[in-house]
Amino acid sequence: MYPSNPIESIRQFHQELTTLRRDLHAHPEIGFQELRTSGIVAGSLEALGIDVHRGIGKTGVVGVIRGKEHTSGRMVGLRADMDALPITEAGQSQYCSTKPGLMHACGHDGHTAVLLGAAKYLAQTRNFNGTAVLIFQPAEEGLGGAKAMLDDGLFERFPCDEIYALHNWPALPPGTIGINPGPMMAASDKFEIVIEGRGGHGAHPYQTIDPIVVAAQVILGLQTIVSRNVHPIDSAVVSIGSVQAGNPAGPSVIPGDARIVGTVRTFKDSVQALVESRMRVLADSIAQAHGAKAELHYQRSYPATINTPRHANFVADVATELFGVDRVVRDLIPSMGSEDFSFMLGVKPGAYFRLGQGGAESGTLLHNSRYDFNDEVIPVGGAMFAAIIERSMPLLER
């Protein structure tokens, strides 16, 4: 027999979790500096009688809950991220950020509250056969906190059989769960191309090697990677975010070099390698054709976040059971954004899913200065996490 829907029990903590979420929102902390936040997390877990391990991946915290039964020997991990972004909050809520230039613009305050809600329910009920590992990770926003926890021996100390995480999603209605049995988010790479020419007088361009003209051709050349080289059924993005050359105060000066900086997003290793190699060939050969030199610095940051189909289908089944088929999107279109839960999914099977929270229609998207986590969906996320534990490690039939 499956246990009942945990949402009714978690709703009883809704007010308390909302208060906690808003307190975190008012006191945002940037990656690896989540001292207050991780202190609150650790204190809350300890108050629930949960074993707490601090300082994993600098400011990360892990809570361990043993089920009523543990003959299964199974261990399932749930992850929430805790960090904020360097954005000045434009919202006017009573609990808006008290720190200028810092805010919870991605809802990690909500993710933390959601996992604490599941923790409270699971610690009180323990209706599962195995061990639940609650992973509160630092520094998801670009600093690789998930990788820091792995490097600190997360899965050696807590050898999870499978892992799950959620992220709020303004483009889905509140209370809807979205998932895809494969790619969820892209790999995110940074690149910089430095073109070295020979500067000189704008009146005598024949005496120079103009890096700006070369850069312009490289920029156009890069547009052919996705359109002409990547298989049309595969996905990739090559975007240039910055072009720097010369000085606006020197209209008749041809500069000596130019710099192009951008991002590449892909889902497959083979596509990622293709983009990098085409970029190198294009930059080199275009520069060479003009007597200039191009240097490509290509840096792989977060890998693609790819769900294991079995575990993604399991999450979709749990969501359907809890909330009904109309509240579940099983084939959510992947995002070209990136997520460092990918490092964890690189070593453990599992799934990453979306918790619909609405807001996209009014433009309050993730990383927007007016973004705010929707507290209404805390019990929905908490019930998902709790039910994943109960259903993946069911008590033996009695």
Binding stretches for Ni ion (CB under 5 A) = 106
Q: Is 284 one of the catalytic residues?
A: no
Given a contact cutoff of 8 angstroms between Cβ atoms, the answer to whether 265 and 188 are in contact is yes
Q: How far is CA 243 from CA 239, 259, 298, in A?
A: 11, 6, 16
CA distance 117 to 105: 21
Give least dist CB 107 to Ni ion, A.
6
Given a contact cutoff of 8 angstroms between Cβ atoms, the answer to whether 129 and 393 are in contact is yes
Name the residue nearer to Ni ion (CB basis): 185 or 215.
185
CA distance 382 to 377: 9
Give least dist CB 296 to Ni ion, A.
29
26: β partners: none
Name the residue nearer to Ni ion (CB basis): 220 or 333.
333
Name the residue nearer to Ni ion (CB basis): 31 or 255.
31
**In the bound complex, which residue of the shown chain has the CB atom lying closest to Ni ion?**
106
Name the residue nearer to Ni ion (CB basis): 109 or 257.
109
> At residue 246, what is the residue type?
G
* Number of neighbours of residue 22 by Cβ within 10 angstroms: 20
Q: Is 375 one of the catalytic residues?
A: no
Catalytic residue among 34, 83, 257, 390: 83
Q: How far is CA 168 from CA 42, 87, 357, in A?
A: 23, 18, 6
Give least dist CB 167 to Ni ion, A.
6
> Does residue 161 sit in helix, strand or coil?
coil
> Residues in the chain, how many?
398
Catalytic residue among 29, 34, 81, 140: 140
Handedness of CA 170, 173, 174, 177 (dihedral sign): negative
Q: Residue 208 CA to chain centroid, in angstroms?
A: 45
Backbone angles phi, psi at 200, to 5 degrees: 175, -160
Give least dist CB 365 to Ni ion, A.
11
Give least dist CB 141 to Ni ion, A.
7
Name the residue nearer to Ni ion (CB basis): 22 or 278.
22
Given a contact cutoff of 8 angstroms between Cβ atoms, the answer to whether 17 and 121 are in contact is no
Name the residue nearer to Ni ion (CB basis): 95 or 169.
169
Give least dist CB 185 to Ni ion, A.
10
Active site residues: 83, 140
